[in-house]
């Protein structure tokens, strides 16, 4: 497959009052035809700046940006309109506009002076609306749509523009989880079935890992590109996202929150209950450890019981709980009593 | 094409509404000829409009010298202000934008104030006593003032990117020219100030028949020309970035749209004085009856409804039972302000619905 977009030593940023503010420099990457690529990066790393530069809203400060072998900065607005379609985070608030009208505006680069739609234009608009799964909302005003439907209508507009490349700036922001998944599936389908090249910026790492063909990880001075799996193998995410308190887990492809553990609690038992119990206690700063040591307090997990969590105070005193919540509460209560005792002891000795 | 396809439904429905609105304009036009301090029967109006002989010379004179030119001016002024307001609202994507907000009306006032208040004193004569020559210089001053402000706004809109900043500039320039007018007033003769205040109240009744015809022609040509801006306006309504991505040259189209709406406003202000609220309220009425975002339909309806609104206001201003006509701006404010208030009210509800 060929390359549709090539970045070579690209420097991006703003020029304000003759002052150049560089956001990222020496970027090299290429975008493959017919693939879905997700652009990832922490806030402030220049995702939006890069997107704006590619669609021509900002001029590159340095380096080259080639679309199908042509320099993008030399293309006119009309030429660009037939090559790159965009979906932005800004809300479209055209008064009275229906889904059909919005999508039809996507045909503007092809219509005449008054913007009248030909039969072929109408057919393309209908197909775009159908492909995005909103044909039941075709004549609804935009104001009456949910956020997800509105986003699909905007994507349909980009589709009606009939460009080989579609650029989306955080299309899943502000959406609830089902709508996020739907939008990603829709874009996945457009890449696989219609051969569109798609570049989208997103913060949904888990969805990007599962559904995109390639990832671009944007750093200040480079783009690390590759398939999600290859990038996982070279630990690219860990070096990118690891900050205090968060750790990327290569096996699950998810972030793990790290807690500072203040105390330890021994547990007897195993299974899913143990995993969940450990997570619940981690939030409270208590680390569970397997196996009984010589502590006075520990928890037994009885996997087949209706009250599976048994708090042991020595060999003889036991309390059993049906839910993890109750267990955690009771343990914290007990620990706070003992620690307050310790605190008093400390004060006395320091005097 | 199959006409029953629902694609055409909004267009056909708004077409019906447009026909009704045109009918309304005709009825209001005839009413404007019929009613006033003297009521004239429909047959006499019909005789005049069809060019037949007249039975009553007094009625004939009243209509020909007062009511017909007044109705023509109201029709033209309303049309121009409605379209100019729609252009501004789309360009600035702000439902409260209007010709007077951009400072163009203020510019015209500044020009007129200069002629009435300053020039008169410089040459030692009072313009209020100069007759036709005074009228003509007044018109030119208004045109010069509005187009002067317009040029400043054009320059600003090229230097300053955002539409909001241009809007604020317009308001500020409006304040500046108002304060200049205030200074001029302070140092002027009492009778000149009186003349200026009368002009500032606005009126559709200053032009004799021949000049009313000329005015109508001057309005209709650029108004029809605005229909050719409809594709640009459609794209701009999506937002500058989307418009640019769809191949629109933003700066050029924005300049031409400002120019057109400024020209329409300047024409009206020069001939009628500053007319408030029509330019701000009518576009909202047009959006309600149009049910489409297509500016080709919106511009047509804004023109028709603007004419209807101005004729209606003119009719109210001369209601039978009142000896002298009310100042037209008092009436337009009473008709226009509730529309603007209801727009803000509905936006408030939308915002509540969003959260």
Q: What ipTM goes with this model?
A: 0.82
Which of B234, B235, B239 minimises the CB distance to A90?
B239
Is there a contact between A101 and B248 if contact means CB atoms under 8 Å apart? no
Is there a contact between B242 and A114 if contact means CB atoms under 8 Å apart? no
Which of A81, A96, A100 minimises the CB distance to B287?
A96
Q: pLDDT tens string for chain A (351 positions)?
A: 688 999 999 999 888 777 888 888 899 999 999 999 999 988 878 899 999 999 989 889 989 999 998 999 899 988 999 999 999 988 888 888 999 999 999 999 999 888 889 999 999 999 999 999 999 999 999 988 999 999 999 999 999 999 999 999 999 988 889 999 999 999 999 999 999 999 999 988 888 988 999 999 998 888 999 999 898 888 888 777 666 667 777 777 777 777 777 778 888 888 888 888 888 888 888 888 887 666 678 888 888 888 888 888 877 788 888 888 988 888 888 877 765 443 333 333 333
Which of A82, A96, A119 minimises the CB distance to B293?
A96
> A78 to chain B: which residues are within 8 Å by CB?
247
Could you tell me the residue ranges of all domains in chain B? 2-354
> What is the rounded distance in angstroms from the CA atom of residue B295 to the CA atom of residue B293?
6
Chain CA centroid to CA B65, Å: 23
> What is the rounded distance in angstroms from the CA atom of residue A99 to the CA atom of residue B233?
18
Q: Closest Cα partner for A58 from B158, B257, B161?
A: B161
Q: What pLDDT score does A289 carry?
A: 83
Using DSSP's 3-state secondary structure scheme, residue A311 falls into strand
Residue B158: pLDDT band (50, 70, 90) is low
Beta strands in chain B (DSSP E): none
Q: Rounded to a whole number, what is the distance in Å from the CA of B243 to chain A's nearest CA? A: 9
Using DSSP's 3-state secondary structure scheme, residue B189 falls into coil
User: Highest mean pLDDT: which of A237-246, A292-301, B156-165, B189-198?
Assistant: B189-198
pTM: 0.83
Conformation bin of residue A26: beta by default, left when phi > 0, alpha when psi is -120 to 50 = left
- Based on its alpha-carbon atoms, the radius of gyration of chain A, rounded to whole angstroms, reads 28
> B239 to chain A: which residues are within 8 Å by CB?
88, 90, 92
Let me know if domain B2-354 sits in CATH 3.30.1180.20. Answer: no
Residues 6+ away with beta carbon under 8 Å from A149: A134, A137
Please give the torsion angle defined by the CA atoms of residues A219, A225, A227 and A231, in that order, rounded to the nearest 10 degrees.
-50
Cα separation values, B8 from A79, A153, B297, Å: 30, 19, 13
Min mean pLDDT across B70-74, B187-191, B246-250 is at B187-191
């Amino acid at each position: 497959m060929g390359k549709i977009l090539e970045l070579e030593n690209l420097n991006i940023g703003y020029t304000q009052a003759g002052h150049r503010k560089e956001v990222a420099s020496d970027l090299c990457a290429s975008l493959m035809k017919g693939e879905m690529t997700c652009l990832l990066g922490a806030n402030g790393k220049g995702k939006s700046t890069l997107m704006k530069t590619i669609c021509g809203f900002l001029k590159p400060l340095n380096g080259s940006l080639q679309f199908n072998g042509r320099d993008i900065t030399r293309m006119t607005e009309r030429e660009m309109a037939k090559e790159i379609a965009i979906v932005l985070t800004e809300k479209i608030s055209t008064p009275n506009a229906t889904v059909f009208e919005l999508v039809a505006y996507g045909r503007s680069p092809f219509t005449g002076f008054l913007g009248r739609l030909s039969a072929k234009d109408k057919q393309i608009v209908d197909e775009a609306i159908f492909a995005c799964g909103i044909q039941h909302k075709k004549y609804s005003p935009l104001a009456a749509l949910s956020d997800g439907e509105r986003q699909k209508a905007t994507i349909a507009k980009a589709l009606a523009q009939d460009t080989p490349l579609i650029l989306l700036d955080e299309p899943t922001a502000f959406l609830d989880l089902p709508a996020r998944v739907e939008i990603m599936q829709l874009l996945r389908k457009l890449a696989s079935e219609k051969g569109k090249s798609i570049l989208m910026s997103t913060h949904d790492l888990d969805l990007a890992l599962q559904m995109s063909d390639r990832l671009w990880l944007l750093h200040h001075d480079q783009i690390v590109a590759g398939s999600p799996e290859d990038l996982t193998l070279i630990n690219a995410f860990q070096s990118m996202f690891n900050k205090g308190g968060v750790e990327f887990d290569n096996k699950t492809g998810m972030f793990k929150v790290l807690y500072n553990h203040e105390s330890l609690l021994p547990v007897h038992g195993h299974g899913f209950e143990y995993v969940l119990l450990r997570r619940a206690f981690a939030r409270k700063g208590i680390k569970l450890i397997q196996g009984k040591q010589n502590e006075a307090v520990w928890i037994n997990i009885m996997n087949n019981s209706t009250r599976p969590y048994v708090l042991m105070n020595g060999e003889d005193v036991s309390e059993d709980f049906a839910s993890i919540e109750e267990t955690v509460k009771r343990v914290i209560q007990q620990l706070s009593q003992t620690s307050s005792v310790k605190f008093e002891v400390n004060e006395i000795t320091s005097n | 094409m199959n006409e029953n396809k629902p694609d055409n439904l909004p267009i056909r429905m708004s077409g019906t509404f447009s026909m009704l609105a045109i009918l309304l304009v005709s009825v209001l036009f005839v009413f404007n000829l019929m009613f006033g301090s003297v009521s004239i029967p429909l047959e006499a109006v019909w005789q005049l409009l069809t060019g037949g002989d007249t039975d009553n010379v007094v009625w004939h004179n009243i209509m020909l010298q007062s009511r017909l030119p007044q109705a023509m001016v109201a029709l033209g002024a309303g049309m121009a202000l409605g379209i100019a307001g729609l252009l501004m609202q789309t360009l600035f994507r702000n439902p409260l934008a209007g010709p007077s907000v951009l400072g163009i009306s203020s510019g015209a006032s500044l020009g007129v104030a200069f002629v009435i208040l300053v020039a008169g004193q410089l040459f030692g004569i009072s313009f209020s006593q100069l007759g036709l020559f005074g009228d003509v210089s007044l018109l030119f001053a208004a045109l010069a003032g509005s187009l002067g402000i317009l040029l400043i706004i054009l320059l600003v809109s090229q230097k300053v990117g955002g539409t909001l900043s241009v809007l604020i500039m317009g308001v500020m320039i409006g304040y500046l020219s108002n304060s200049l007018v205030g200074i001029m007033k302070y140092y002027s003769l009492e009778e000149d100030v009186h003349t200026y205040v009368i002009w500032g109240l606005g009126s559709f009744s200053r032009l004799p028949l021949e000049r009313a015809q000329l005015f109508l022609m001057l309005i209709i040509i650029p108004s029809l020309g605005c229909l050719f801006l409809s594709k640009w306006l459609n794209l701009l309504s999506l937002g500058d970035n989307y418009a640019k991505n769809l191949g629109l040259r933003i700066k050029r189209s924005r300049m031409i749209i400002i120019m057109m709406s400024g020209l329409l406003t300047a024409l009206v202000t020069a001939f009628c004085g500053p007319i408030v609220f029509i330019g701000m309220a009518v576009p909202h009425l047009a959006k309600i009856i149009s049910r489409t975002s297509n500016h080709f339909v919106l511009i047509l309806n804004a023109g028709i409804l603007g004419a209807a609104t101005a004729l209606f206001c003119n009719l109210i201003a001369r209601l039978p039972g009142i000896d002298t006509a009310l100042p037209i701006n008092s009436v337009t404010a009473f008709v226009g302000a509730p529309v603007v208030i209801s727009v803000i009210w509905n936006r408030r509800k939308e915002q509540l619905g969003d959260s």
